[in-house]
Amino acid sequence: MRWWSRPGRPLVSRPAMSLRLACRSSGSTNFRQTVSGSVSRVSFMQNLELWYRAPATAWTEALPLGNGRLGAMVFGGIDREEFQLNEATLWAGGPYQPVNDQALSNLARVRELIFAEQFVEAQALANQTMMAKPLTQMTYQPAGNLFIEFRHEAAPDTYRRSLDLATAIASTGYGLLGSGIDDDIASVRRESFVSAADDVFVTQLSANRPGALTFEVWIDSPQDGEWQKTEPDRLSYFGRNADLEGIKGRLTFGIDAQVRAQGGVMSRRGRRIVVENADSATIIVDIATSFRRFDDVSGDPQALLDKRRGTIAQKTYAALKANHIAEHQSKFDRLSLDLGEGRTDLPTDERIARFSEGGDAALAALYVQYGRYLMLSSSRPGGQAANLQGIWNKEVRPPWGSKYTANINLEMNYWLPDPANLVENFEPLISLVEDLAETGSEMARRHYGARGWVLHHNTDIWRATGPVDGAQWGLWPTGGAWLCAQMWDHAVFAGCPEPLVRRLLPLLEGAVQFFIDILQPLPGTDYLVTVPSISPENEHPLGAALCAGPTMDNQILRDLLDAYVAASEQIGGDHDLRQQARSTRARLMPDQVGKAGQLQEWKEDWDLNVPEIHHRHVSHLYGLYPSLQIGADTPELLSAARRSLEIRGDDATGWGIGWRINLWARLGEGDHAHDVLELLLHPDRSYPNLFDAHPPFQIDGNFGGAAGILEMLVQSGTETITILPALPLAWPDGRLKGVRARGGVTLDFEWRAGRLTALTATAPEGYAGKIRVSDKVLQSGLAAGTTTILGGLH
């Protein structure tokens, strides 16, 4: 555990505000330029490459590729190349609804026991009668592997593999042992990508000498299936997914690999394609499943594979590559970031090992861009949301099922797209919630006797919404409410466009109806509380996790109810429900400050007596981040949140560290946030391929850490945007272009010696709020279009 004693930076003077204020008219005629100045040119040094001196020997050293649907991990082997393959809809099991018919009849008794402070008894009864059946959800599955076997060796000191984030291409190159001397040595190169434009995985093998390529290609799969007889240049495998926890596997799937060789001889040997003495070769892989939506598995994988193969049949490798790069860069190039010099002369794994020594600010910038790359690779409109591992998983029984965990992890996955200018990549989360509103309505009715819909702390591709894993983890009814609050914040970032608000309103309405129905009066008070509930994954001092009205629930419900009122007012929703939402919000328990000056995690002052005082979750600090409830105009709560964060400590799991970076950034503590970033960019918490080491791998730490770096540079509420609110001493000079702020504003700016030197803001619909740096207001209101506020960017 590390403790800091340095004086803190001044708190960001950022007012606390609820999201219901976010949909005020953004147009403004109060357009005045307050500051002007000359612009010093900052060298824009973006190095966007991960590179290594040796092949991957472990999955967490391999390099990820993806297009939101297909995922591939590239190992870069010499005698054998391996690509581990995933398809986003290949999960275990099939459509199911894990209702427990005993839950509703035992709900009142569990509530009574909790109010009587018989927590252990309440938790035991809940485990016996209120949990989902089955108790475990379905798991995300690997599809298979593609192997290329060579008969050659690499010449010493010639090997290099890399991932270029700017093109989303993984490359492997090396000279061939015994093939020549000096500049005459023969060399080979492989390029691989997963194309969003053409929706296939492509790898190209080439050499600098004709006829230098001899290799064999084959595929395998851990899923049950059989090989199909196909053309000599194709390998096809068709199978079905696995049963799990009594839920029958109902998906069928297919893997199709085609080899296109230029020069040489190609033949078939059993389940392998053999290529001898070729000049170059292209291998194209596709995967399809019968998944159509959570309750429909009637798709035809063969037809899907045939259709996509037909669309690319006449496309050359050059055309496929050009299409891929153009599509990727149309989104990736929206944001660029320079934080200073870096050790680009070192391979990435060595840079991670040395980051805490200083002198590599560029690695932090690379981490942001890697997070954006992973988001583009694992979450695309029309597809599935990024799960606990994005889309990359090699295990039939992956850690935590590689599911969607909604008590922090799923939400953290989507902290990044809005500020990072990847707005479309948020769309799969909305689609997921739309499905959950359907399946969750039955869960709400049969488990709680309530209207609306509910999600507990986990879901899967079949959109199961029941409490799983045990009452101490799963009997938390607020997962859907958090997702709703986050979707509304997404709307706030966009300036609350009416089509998006109309799409979100029924989801918000259903969540509000559920909580109006299930909130219970706290005995002896006028407060309403969630019961049974938990403070996610933490146990209180009385031997259980179940409780009534934990702080996080109250904070989330304030955001939910505010969001519903704002959306309903904007487009004319149910007036009576809107009034109920207001009155319900007024009866939620306010945040409490405990005897140690901390923000209480529960309504009781239990924080200093918990079994795990340095718990990875910091659930009760939701009000500070990601919410906007705690800020400079709630000084007592702001101080209490800081104290809670000090008590909890900075070292945690990977995603726990990612959350802490954002929290310290919200407190205006740039140097402290950077110290926590050093914990994340360390071999203990970042694998050689920069995947977050929970451990094991969870992608939420990548997304949360990247969002935290941006939060150090820009913070926005509904009325104020603050530039450089938590700039650490480690980044004295820099430049950021294309970052988004709440209210539909995009910012380009640069700074030298810690001082803002240029700032341009773009607000297509205008912006009524203020833009400032430190305590100085630079601009009050923006006209529609682009405004140069300070100097000019070149």
Hey, where are the domains in the chain? 19-46+728-790, 51-91+143-332, 103-133+379-649
- The mean pLDDT of 107-125, rounded to a whole number, is 98
d(C-alpha 524, C-alpha 539), whole Å: 25
Identify whether the C-beta of residue 405 lies closer than 8 Å to the C-beta of residue 458.
yes
At 357, the pLDDT band (50, 70, 90 cuts) reads very high
Q: What is the pLDDT of residue 793?
A: 63
At 243, the pLDDT band (50, 70, 90 cuts) reads very high
Tokens of 50: 């991960």
Report which DSSP code applies to 184: G
pTM of the entire predicted model: 0.94
d(C-alpha 373, C-alpha 784), whole Å: 30
Q: Which residues touch 677 (CB under 8 Å, ≥6 apart)?
A: 364, 661, 705, 708, 709
Higher-scoring residue by pLDDT: 217, 23? 217
Identify whether the C-beta of residue 456 lies closer than 8 Å to the C-beta of residue 411.
no
Give residue 354's identity as a one-letter amino acid code.
R
Q: Which residue has the tokens 């795990």?
A: 612
- Helix 119-129 to helix 103-115 angle, to the nearest 10 degrees? 170
Residue in 44, 92, 86 with CA at minimum distance from that of residue 65: 86
DSSP E strands, 247-305: 252-262, 265-269, 272-278, 280-289
b/e sequence 429-466, b meaning 16+ C-beta within 10 Å: bbebbebbbebbbebbbbbbebbbbbbbbbbbbbbbbb
Identify whether the C-beta of residue 568 lies closer than 8 Å to the C-beta of residue 623.
no
Q: Is the pLDDT score of 302 beyond 90?
A: yes
Tokens of 440: 């969750």
d(C-alpha 460, C-alpha 88), whole Å: 11
At 7, the pLDDT band (50, 70, 90 cuts) reads very low
Q: Is the pLDDT score of 104 beyond 70?
A: yes
Dump pLDDT digits (tens) for 374-408: 999 999 999 999 999 999 999 999 999 999 999 99
Q: Which residues touch 297 (CB under 8 Å, ≥6 apart)?
A: 94, 95, 250, 251, 252, 290, 291
Q: Which residues touch 478 (CB under 8 Å, ≥6 apart)?
A: 530, 533, 552, 553, 556, 557
Domain 51-91+143-332 has what CATH class?
mainly beta
Residue in 335, 352, 394, 384 with CA at minimum distance from that of residue 50: 352
3-state secondary structure of 492: helix
d(C-alpha 629, C-alpha 445), whole Å: 31
Give residue 623's identity as a one-letter amino acid code.
G
Q: Is the pLDDT score of 230 beyond 80?
A: yes
d(C-alpha 180, C-alpha 187), whole Å: 10
Q: What is the pLDDT of residue 185?
A: 83
Residue in 627, 670, 679 with CA at minimum distance from that of residue 651: 679
Identify whether the C-beta of residue 16 lies closer than 8 Å to the C-beta of residue 628.
yes
Q: Which residues touch 3 (CB under 8 Å, ≥6 apart)?
A: none
Distance, first Cα to last Cα, the chain: 44
Alpha-carbon 673 to chain mean position: 20
3-state secondary structure of 201: strand
d(C-alpha 736, C-alpha 337), whole Å: 5
Kindly report the CA angle at 240 between 237 and 241, in degrees rounded to 5? 125
Q: Which residue has the tokens 């140097």?
A: 671
Tokens of 668: 């205006």
Mean pLDDT of the chain: 93
3-state secondary structure of 38: coil
CATH 1.50.10.10 assigned to 103-133+379-649: yes
Dump pLDDT digits (tens) for 304-341: 999 999 999 999 999 999 999 999 999 999 999 999 99
Give residue 748's identity as a one-letter amino acid code.
D
Q: Is the pLDDT score of 413 beyond 60?
A: yes
